Chain A
Amino acid sequence: MRIEESFTVSVPIASAWEAIRNPEIVAPCIPGCESIEVVDPTHYKAAVRLGLGPIKLRFLVEVEITEEEAPIRLVSTTKGEEGGRASRVRSQNVLSLTALGDRETEIAYSAEVEVTGRIAKFGFGMMKKKAETLGREFAEAFRKRVENGQDAA
């Protein structure tokens, strides 16, 4: 299942990159993210809750940054598992930043997502929609946070 989205933030590419690489900023923007632990600069652990209609899920997620090219490209893999291994989610993510102006940056991401276990029974079309919605929510929250951060500065 492939997901591709992009959004723009009204900050310079350098600060957008800085924010992207700062779990303290990113974590609160992830819908349902309960906690994040920085293992080392390229490894994070997080607990994420999400709901698919009546189905409530809690995933323990491990993120590994496998490739980075500041300030334009970040490649990562995500592995998530539900308690009791009822479901697993894995994705290969590519994040790329493009300066549209000196205070305008486009953030595009694409993810190849694999889902197995009980949530897979929900149907891939629905899950794609859900993932896209979560992506938009993240973009919204991230934009607010980064842009406000700028104004404060």
Chain B
Amino acid sequence: MMEPGAEVAFHRPRTVQEALALLSADDGAVCLAGGATLVAMMNADLIAPSGLVSLSGIDVLRTAERLPDGAVRIGAMRHHRQTADETLLEDGQQVVREAARQIANTPVRNMGTIGGSIAFFDPAADYPPALVAADAIVDISGPNGDRAIAAAAFFVDWYETALGAGEMVTGVRLPAAPMGSVGVYHKLARVSGDFATASVALVLAMENHTVSHLAVAVGACAPTPVRRPDIEAEIIGNGLDDAKVDRLADALAERLDPVDDVRASAAYRRLVAPRMVKHALCRAAETLGGRQ
């Protein structure tokens, strides 16, 4: 008499290479990062992997460091709590810290990791829009070696990423943000700690009332975070008046493709997201003294 699930293999490799070897040896095996999402899905009978490759024993995935070019690299196994308190993050990079602070709650932030979160990619999660707004780069290792890909390209579709078979996320790189820029994350959720009904992540820098850097991403309102670099480019170099703010908010709204779900209707998301964008942008500009 054997318990269902008793035959599942469990591995705790010490290096990324070992982990990759284990993944390629069994295509039913999956990475176990913090477990916050994976184990919840196993408990709910949603997935039944044939093997679990725990990444918790791989030290290089647990570090965060500043790179020579000023970028900050966050290892895939850094917990949300660590990123929420990350002192390496400066200026606009703090948009990622703000997002981490709003993920779930203390015990879950103690378990969940940035690598696990983005690899699973719930479109209503907090990291994706923040990483897209921060122009983050995702580091990936796989059977064919290492590669790096922009966060904006990493998120492909609902719950689908650019990760290929046997590949894993090893870290996230946040390029240095302009001196004096601000990074803010606004989240609307039914209750504290819920996934976002809609969210806005932005990085803004202004030099004497002129926008010198701008990146705005809307989360939870489309298969992937929505950004409008074309409109951002139009605004950069100009003042941030209401017309510009409206222009960007409306342009973002055009690209939304939200779903009806238990959190809200698609129609409400279309309605509220541009309102949140305008609000977040004006607030950020105010803190920079960029609006009279």
Contact = CB atoms under 8 A, between A and B. Distances in A.
Interface of A: 52-56, 86, 118, 121-126, 128-130, 133
B223 A129 contact: yes
Contacts of B259: 123, 125-126, 128-129
Nearest to A128: B259
Interface residues of B, number: 18
B69 interface: no
Contacts of B157: 133
B187 to A, nearest CB: 19
Contacts of A53: 120-121, 158-160
Given A54-B41, A125-B261, 5 more contacts: A52-B159, A53-B158, A55-B46, A122-B46, A129-B158
B120 A123 contact: no
A128 B260 contact: yes
Most chain-B Cβ atoms within 10 A of its Cβ — which of A118, A124, A126? A126
Nearest to A122: B46
Contacts of B25: none
Contacts of A124: 260-261
B158 A130 contact: yes
B28 to A, nearest CB: 9
A55 B120 CA distance: 11
A55 B121 CA distance: 13
Interface string B115-147: 000001100000000000000000000000000
Interface string B158-180: 11100000000000000000000
B261 A118 contact: no
B45 interface: yes
Contacts of A125: 259-261, 266
B262 interface: yes
Contact of A121 (B30, B44, B223, B261): B44
A126 B45 contact: no
Nearest to B258: A125
B9 interface: no
B45 A123 contact: no
Nearest to B262: A123
A124 B45 CA distance: 18
B47 interface: yes
Q: Mostly helix, strand, loop or mixed at chain A's interface?
A: helix
Contacts of A122: 46
Contacts of A54: 30, 41, 46-47, 120, 159
Given A53-B158, A54-B41, A128-B260, A118 B46 contact: yes
A128 B158 CA distance: 12
A129 B47 CA distance: 21
Which 7 interchain pairs have the tightest Cβ spacing? Answer: A53-B159, A125-B259, A125-B261, A125-B260, A123-B261, A118-B45, A55-B46
A129 B121 CA distance: 16
Contact of B261 (A86, A126, A130, A133): A126
Contacts of B158: 53, 126, 129-130
A10 B160 CA distance: 33
Contacts of B47: 54-56
Contacts of A52: 159
Interface string B27-63: 0001000000000010011110000000000000000
A53 B121 CA distance: 9
Contacts of B30: 54
A134 to B, nearest CB: 12
B258 to A, nearest CB: 8
A128 to B, nearest CB: 7
29 contacts: A53-B120, A53-B121, A53-B158, A53-B159, A53-B160, A54-B41, A54-B47, A54-B120, A54-B159, A55-B46, A56-B47, A118-B44, A118-B45, A118-B46, A121-B44, A121-B46, A123-B259, A123-B262, A124-B260, A124-B261, A125-B259, A125-B266, A126-B158, A126-B159, A126-B259, A126-B261, A129-B223, A130-B158, A133-B157
A24 to B, nearest CB: 30
